[in-house]
Structure 1
């Protein structure tokens, strides 16, 4: 929690700095220009990602976090990958890219990769490692790391978000967090969850025309219509699959004792 609080403080501080540097861009409609996207989203994430990279370098955790997972996953966990990847593919082919000004789409996708890196390293990387090192079961690891991920999204209240919208976002984030944990575990690598997450956010933003909301002029077609119920599917699937998570990563001292 301390790591999360420090990260969020730096991220929010960077957002305030962006408002000072480019007040017009931070007040403009999010997808109105590349500059609006950069100063409203990208700048804070860039600073946060840099801080996390420094933290991993200082602790020497780069290799451990991005190496193969120390516990394998069951085949049923691929359900999580499918539930996350399918709406991403539908949105990728359904988005009307021509409705956005030049450069906006590229900046949004770059920002998505930053979101994937920062949030996955923080919650499926650092949080999962710390929970495992403390000897917790994988159910606890999945539930607590997903809860931390969900609570992080409650900060949308500070930016004036509707309490109802934020509540739904937090619930979605918890279910999505469970699916990201399962994607990481069944594939064996944090990088898979990072990429899935990094494509989910930008395709959602471009499909809806906003952040955590549907813009009044958002384009709709058959592919986007099929993708729209997946927010609810993510919540339900995450809560159900959480029940079936089993396993435990032996603590280092336990493994040494067993070997002796």
Structure 2
């Protein structure tokens, strides 16, 4: 016997579209921040906000739960294979620029961290947090959101722009933690450019695993380098990472071409030269 409720649930999401993508992102945003608020009493007992315990409570636990919820959602609509399988549209060689830029600055950040001051536990916990952050945010925006936009027949430039904008808006929640409006505004611009780079990484490699790994190395390298910097030329060069990612992401966005048609099973090709 057919499960009418499950069928209706899947049919609703299979239609895709930008507004359904917004609904999904908003629900995730509310659940994630709600869980963070529930953990506030525990966080209040932690004296050092940069300790391994603080990272565990502030980042690892909420994002781990978020990751599990996203996987459960993907399973409920039957999209797990679509998200983690080969991309239905191929990329072009110029898209490797996005990967190169992000990777170079991640390496520069990692090379300008005072690991002795940070300590093994803090570094290890940040690396663990990075894995979950990369997984959850990429599965949500480059996986589920991109899938919904493609199911609605959006052109790939719109898919890249909308998914990156929703990814950026996720970080507006930092206002709730006391971050200034100016700093948050800059972060939104940066995360939009970074989101485009992650979309291009997925396109050119043909798999969401690439942006997950890139993202997983980005957050820990930035946070650790900011908290435990080693002053010098490498650190100064690493400081150019944010504007570089913004410029590269926004410029390359305008070269994105192609469209995935929901009725076409064969891979589509980007005609950009």
Q: What's the TM-score, normalizing by structure 1?
A: 0.90
What residue is the counterpart of 1:212 in the other structure?
none
What residue is the counterpart of 2:64 in the other structure?
46
- The correspondence for 1:17, drawn from 38, 45, 48, is 38
Q: 1: distance between equivalents of 2:146 and 2:58?
A: 29
SS of residue in 2 equivalent to 1:251: coil
What residue is the counterpart of 1:224 in the other structure?
235
What residue is the counterpart of 2:116 in the other structure?
98
CA contact (8 A) 1:71 1:249 kept: yes
Give 1:255 shift.
5.9
Q: 2: distance between equivalents of 1:22 and 1:203?
A: 23
SS of residue in 2 equivalent to 1:248: coil
What residue is the counterpart of 1:83 in the other structure?
101
What residue is the counterpart of 1:121 in the other structure?
139
Q: 2: distance between equivalents of 1:102 and 1:232?
A: 30
1:152 maps to 2:163 = no
Give 1:232 shift.
0.2
CA contact (8 A) 1:208 1:219 kept: no
Give 1:22 shift.
4.0
- The correspondence for 1:4, drawn from 25, 28, 50, is 25
Give 1:141 shift.
0.3
Q: 1: distance between equivalents of 2:186 and 2:167?
A: 14
What residue is the counterpart of 1:34 in the other structure?
52
SS of residue in 2 equivalent to 1:30: coil
Give 1:186 shift.
0.4
- Could you report, residue by residue, the CA deviation over 1:24-67 in whole angstroms, capped at 9, with x for unpaired residues? 12xx4432x21111112212111111111211222221111011
CA contact (8 A) 2:43 2:58 kept: no
Q: What's the TM-score, normalizing by structure 2?
A: 0.86
- Could you report, residue by residue, the CA deviation over 1:199-249 in whole angstroms, capped at 9, with x for unpaired residues? 00000000001xxxxxxx743232221111010011111111011100001
Q: 2: distance between equivalents of 1:119 and 1:30?
A: 23
Counterparts of 1:241-260 in structure 2, within 5 Å, are 241-252=252-263
Counterparts of 1:80-229 in structure 2, within 5 Å, are 80-209=98-227, 218-229=229-240
Q: 2: distance between equivalents of 1:244 and 1:177?
A: 15
Which consecutive residues of structure 1, in runs of 5 or more, have no partner in the other structure? 210-216
Q: 2: distance between equivalents of 1:101 and 1:230?
A: 24
Which consecutive residues of structure 2, in runs of 5 or more, have no partner in the other structure? 1-21, 267-273
